[in-house]
Structure 1
Amino acid sequence: MQYLNLFSTIKLSSLLNTREGETKLGQAVKLADPSLNLTTNLVQAKSNGVRFAIIGIGEDIGPRANLGRGGATDAFDSAMGQFLNLQSNRFLTGEQCLVLGQIDTQDLQLPASANANSLRNNVEQLDQRVIQLLTKVFCAGLEPIVIGGGHNNAYGLLMAAKGAFKRPVAAVNMDPHSDFRPKEGRHSGNGFSYAAASGALGYYHVLGLHELKNSETTLEQLKAFGGHWHSMQQIWVRRELSLETALKSIAKSLNNTQLPVAIELDLDAITNMPSSASTAAGVPLLDALFYVSYIAKHCPAAYLHLAEAAPSCHVSGAPAGHRETGQSISELIYSYISGRINAL
């Protein structure tokens, strides 16, 4: 399958820790059949009761093209190492999940000496791979859960959703940055501005926007588009409104659009999360879980996108980073799936 590295039984076995008398999610999830083409795999998965397709994008060219640091390459493996070892039980059996694999980005990765233009050209190539794969996933009727890579991949996801659903998408993004930077060449800071210009983004709300981490130009562009936001300072610092109040308002606005809803989360929104732009003053993980769960339950969500996690950037080293990001992303995945299964 072009540009897709399937999640194999060998990979699963290397991550799975079984225990007598227990069933882990990894023993119940579905994997793609390498002897079949992608479309056939997706259609068969759907007919066998699968609802969610878990996909990785291991790359850091997007953040580096945005003049940020790298490291967002291995969040998918960290997440699967934790998620697949959770218990399969009455709350989630795992049979609803297809662990599809990772989009191949190896040929697009560039050395540390690469200039911004080269990186941005490769991000454009990655966009096409994301669009091609995710369009097939959406058309098969599955909900993607996309893990890893820079937030540049929001553009490809939104374009794929637009192509599959034949209409724009309403997006909510928990992120200190609006990612609505000028269209100066593709990178992790302008996925949503490019999606807006391409007609894929019909409505946009940023939750947890940091008031001093967005340029005035970016804020003006966001306003001109008709974008909305609740700032991190409004909710978590000045306590002008509660998170629940904000989420109720956001959900109402998203539903009023009558469009498919994209749930976006930049992991650098979460306090001290290893990421390409980690922060000491961010959103508590439990609040991020509540955000994902609430929107998934109350809105017609099309997908979940968890971007920018960079395990190797953990202050205590890569092993600690893999544990923390793996556990955090696993909880976010379950929050989304649980919200969707119990959707109102």
Structure 2
Amino acid sequence: MNEIDMKLWSGRIDAGEGELATRWHQQVRPCSADVAPGVALVGFACDEGVRRNQGRVGAVEAPAVLRKALANLAWHQATPVYDAGDVGCPDADLDAAQQRLGQRVAQLIAAGHKPLVLGGGHETAYGTYLGLAAAYPDKTIGIVNLDAHFDLRESAEASSGTPFKQIADLCQAYGRPFRYLCWGVAAPSNTRALFARAAALKVQWQPDTALTEAQLPQRLAELDAFAASVDLVYLTIDLDVLPAAQMPAVSAPAAFGVPMAVVEAVATRLAGSGRLAAADLVEFNPRFDQDSHGAKCAARLAWSIARQWQP
């Protein structure tokens, strides 16, 4: 765990506007043992899984960039927000890094916080889930993944393409139900082997073409039903689910994608449901950002989730 770098939290101050004009950099505090429950930001500064998956590396830099993007946003939150520092992977030992992330997520939950993890590649998801599984050993955890990819690949080593297969294997080993909903799937980007595995694991999925704004009411009703069928929900947003024009800064930009308005609506619906136990935003790659378009989209989603979330 790296030390918390609060220097990232800086920005504009509207001194003449009073306390209603504050911004995130004026409100976010370091996460310590004596703070009241709130939303805890924890970075997973890692893209080792992306490298192993033959993707474009750079997501290791995302947590710091996303904090800077959040810093100057207007403060509308009723719930406190804390910075809980970063978990890194400096030695390319991804398994150990995921275990450390899981331990940190479990610690934050035990302290009453809602962990919002800033990845990192989608290998982040296995670490986040490990923390949830440790914190809630007797609960059924439903996974909602907004993603162009199933990330169910079978492989000898963990990568950004394997996290949900790893979770499925973990659930089988411990006799836990594997409840996985994946929305935004791009058929050209997933092999028939992945579709077959999704079917075998009884994954509930929708293609990117079924997640338009016109179809949103139907999708939200399905989302509510899924959330009601489990004890807790874990939301993971792979930012490559967004159209490339809205999110260019990922390893694999989407040719079609799911509109930002739909992604935000799904995220805020879950955040306000009372069932969301943890969330993460993954695959943001600052090296391919254009005029901070990607950072602004990702920060908007984090802002929206935190605004709706109650500890």
TM-score if structure 1 supplies the norm length?
0.81
Give 1:234 shift: 2.9
Partner Cα distance (2:254, 2:226) in 1: 29
RMSD: 2.0
1:112 corresponds to: none
1:194 corresponds to: 166
Give 1:219 shift: 1.5
2:251 corresponds to: 276
What code does the residue aligned with 2:195 have?
L
1:77 corresponds to: 64
2:267 corresponds to: 292
Change (3 A) 1:161 1:201: farther
Match of 1:331 among 300, 307, 310: 300
2:102 corresponds to: 131
1:8 corresponds to: 5
Give 1:201 shift: 6.2
2:15 corresponds to: 20
Partner Cα distance (1:305, 1:132) in 2: 15
Unaligned runs of 5+ in 2: none
2:233 corresponds to: 261
User: 1:151, 1:191 within 8 Å by CA — same for their partners in 2?
Assistant: yes
Partner Cα distance (1:26, 1:234) in 2: 38
What code does the residue aligned with 1:70 have?
V
Paired residue secondary structure (1:99): strand
Partner Cα distance (2:116, 2:69) in 1: 15
- Tell whether 2:221 aligns with 1:232: no
Paired residue secondary structure (2:144): strand
1:243 corresponds to: 216
Partner Cα distance (1:64, 1:83) in 2: 27
Give 1:292 shift: 0.5
Partner Cα distance (2:211, 2:107) in 1: 38
- Tell whether 2:47 aligns with 1:60: yes
The number of aligned residues is 299
CA deviations on 1:30-89 (whole Å, 9 max, x unpaired) are: 214xxxxxxxx24x22xx3x311001112211111112121112222222112121223x
Partner Cα distance (1:242, 1:298) in 2: 20
Partner Cα distance (2:97, 2:126) in 1: 10
Partner Cα distance (1:213, 1:266) in 2: 14
Give 1:25 shift: 1.8
Partner Cα distance (1:10, 1:334) in 2: 19
CA deviations on 1:238-297 (whole Å, 9 max, x unpaired) are: x9x71221121122122112x210011000111121101112321122221111111222
Unaligned runs of 5+ in 1: 33-40, 109-121
Partner Cα distance (2:226, 2:277) in 1: 16
Partner Cα distance (1:17, 1:326) in 2: 18
CA deviations on 1:183-211 (whole Å, 9 max, x unpaired) are: 43100011011011101663100011112
Partner Cα distance (1:327, 1:141) in 2: 28
Whose relative contact order is higher, 1 or 2, with alpha carbons under 8 Å and at least 6 apart?
Answer: 2
Paired residue secondary structure (1:177): coil
Paired residue secondary structure (2:272): helix
Partner Cα distance (2:240, 2:51) in 1: 15
Partner Cα distance (1:244, 1:184) in 2: 40
- Tell whether 2:272 aligns with 1:340: no
Change (3 A) 1:244 1:338: farther
Match of 2:128 among 157, 162, 165: 157
Higher mean C-alpha displacement, 132-141 vs 194-203: 194-203
- Tell whether 2:148 aligns with 1:176: yes
Match of 1:86 among 44, 50, 73: 73
TM-score if structure 2 supplies the norm length?
0.89
Give 1:28 shift: 1.6
Which 4+ runs in 1 deviate beyond 4 A? none
Partner Cα distance (1:9, 1:60) in 2: 23
Give 1:328 shift: 1.3
Give 1:299 shift: 5.1
CA deviations on 1:110-160 (whole Å, 9 max, x unpaired) are: xxxxxxxxxxxx221221211221121122121111112111111111111
Partner Cα distance (2:203, 2:123) in 1: 18
Partner Cα distance (1:337, 1:17) in 2: 21
User: 1:203, 1:254 within 8 Å by CA — same for their partners in 2?
Assistant: no
